Structure 1
């Protein structure tokens, strides 16, 4: 059933592309995880465990699922999913443990490579790892992902955490204003190596105004040809992926 559904998704996207007459289409492949919350009284259902929910800000009794979503040619489709089980549960049940990043890479590898598509994988900072970036690169995909501020960049060849660089060395004159979808941001762009990635474009952004005491929102993009507005606009497509409900 899943195979036939994914075939339908691909055929629908290709049909839309042929009508539009695009030679090379942009495809967004979005990966995220979500929790399907259950009442504490639910005990007999398999796979339930305590998982941290970012939206709730606490650990909840739930199923956890890593999901993928495809957006292209004004189409938005659920692609596939993988259940995530914590390591103690896997040991108890005698099954192989797979981290969320491994499950995300499985989903990325499940999307077929086509010469008439450029795929951008969109993820939050939980998934922006060296191995996932390499998985995208091997398939010819680009990654746009959130980036934690404890990651190191190398301005002038000297390694420094993004948070330390932003609070110590940046001034308002180093940033440029960018407006995307009605929101204004002050952006600083770094292009170069990271501690675990050989060259990428990193955006440090503050909404409305620069404040060195506040942590910037950071994005990593492996496609250095994209400008600020395009990177931010592409990343906003990530909100097409919706959490599942109980």
Structure 2
């Protein structure tokens, strides 16, 4: 099915993306939700065994989560870039794209015919390609904010989003320049000015609502013509390691902009379910194209769960975890199986024949 069947990943992905965008916009209108569309962009590394060498989608990638300033860590695994769409309380994974290092692409192409060679795409280009597809599906006239961390906060990606008339809210590194001056130097220059207190939503309802102290500056990012507002956020006034953010929408308050940025969290939830529950990294497929098909099927599975969750929210206004719908799906399959077995047992009354039919592995062990 994945190795030899002639279908392509886009045969599934194209209709899936069109369906999800259309249905979630309809659900948002039925709920009366303000159509502020938040688009999260991120990438994720999934680990494979160190001995895994012959899968084309697997390579050693830089692991920035486990790396430190003194030691850089490289992990054998797969990397994908993803785009998540969030509209109020409902959202879905729009798409994923497998990433390969340029050196690995050149190595794989040595053994491929000219018409079947892979094309290297940077993470920026993978993200941009998915955003271009999404732009064609979104209706005009709605506010759209693209959210990403400092790894994606390039002038190229920000300019692309602005050409779509989308705004950007992103994290930036401490050496990023605002009006030709590093933002951490702005932080030092403003040390005697008062803070604005910002309260964000608690991601875990069992925990206390987080509060930060924030200073705002206005200016131009390097290589950017349009002005931005930048936020210097600290957990407390004496915090020596502040976080820095930039926002292209000059009308947003610091609290509103940072609350929007919080909506990147569903991307991490997607990663949890994809890798730990739905088996995204369980592929044993040698060709890169077969791995892409595997990804397309797994993303289809999580979209099914997210659509179920959105419909449940429409009925009850309760945010239920995807794990509840996985459990419900499994129980429904068990109910159908039990009903079928009971009906056949009532008609045939031959227990061994029925067990051999539905549990062939167990029957072969007993003989």
TM-score, normalisation: structure 2: 0.62
- Report the equivalent of 2:346: none
Instruction: Kindly provide the CA deviation profile for residues 8-57 of structure 1, in whole angstroms up to 9, marking residues without a partner as x.
Output: 211221221331345x6111111100011100111221121111223333
- The residue number in structure 2 matching 1:207 is 235
Work out whether 1:226 is the aligned partner of 2:237: no
Does residue 162 (structure 1) correspond to residue 187 (structure 2)? The answer is: no
CA contact (8 A) 1:122 1:143 kept: yes
Bigger helix fraction:
2
Q: Report deviation, 1:64.
A: 0.6
Q: Structure 1 CA distance, aligned partners of 2:194 and 2:108?
A: 54
TM-score, normalised with respect to structure 1: 0.90
Pair member with larger Rg: 2
Q: Distance in 2 between matches of 1:10 and 1:113?
A: 7
The question of whether the paired residues in 1 share the 8 Å contact of 2:21 and 2:138 is answered with no
One of 181, 206, 211 as aligned partner of 1:184? 211
Contact preservation (8 Å) 1:13, 1:73: no
Q: Which structure 2 segments of 5+ residues have no match?
A: 1-11, 68-72, 110-117, 202-208, 276-280, 282-367
Provide Cα deviations, 1:134-165, integer angstroms capped at 9, x if missing partner: 111111111111101111112xxxx2111223
Residue 237 (1) aligns with residue 263 (2): yes
Range with greater deviation from structure 2 (125-134 or 214-223): 214-223
Deviation at 1:71, TM superposition (A): 0.9
Deviation string for 1:198-217 (max 9, x for gaps)? 21111011112244xx2320
Work out which of the residue numbers 79, 84, 88 in structure 2 matches 1:69: 84
Identify the range of structure 1 (232-241 vs 56-65) with the bigger mean alpha-carbon deviation: 56-65
Counterpart contact for 1:172–1:210, Cα < 8 Å: no
Give how far 1:116 is off.
4.2
The answer (yes or no) to whether the contact 1:16–1:73 under 8 Å persists in 2 is no
What pairs with 1:83-232 in structure 2 (closer than 5 Å)? 83-94=98-109, 95-111=118-134, 112-154=137-179, 159-167=180-188, 169-181=189-201, 182-198=209-225, 199-211=227-239, 214-232=240-258
Q: Does the CA-based 8 Å contact 1:25-1:116 persist in structure 2?
A: no
Give the 3 Å change call, closer, same or farther, for CA 73–205 of structure 1 in structure 2.
closer
Asked whether the 8 Å contact 1:113–1:139 carries over to 2, the reply is: no
Q: Which sections of structure 1, spanning at least 5 residues, go unmatched? A: none
Give secondary structure in 1 for the equivalent of 2:159.
helix
What residue is the counterpart of 1:16 in the other structure? 27
Note if contact 2:143-2:166 (Cα within 8 Å) is conserved in structure 1: yes
Higher strand share: 1
How far does residue 63 in structure 1 lie from its aligned partner after superposition? 0.6
Q: CA offsets, 1:52-86, max 9 Å, x none?
A: 22333332101110011111142221100111111
2:238, 2:249 → 1: CA distance?
A: 25
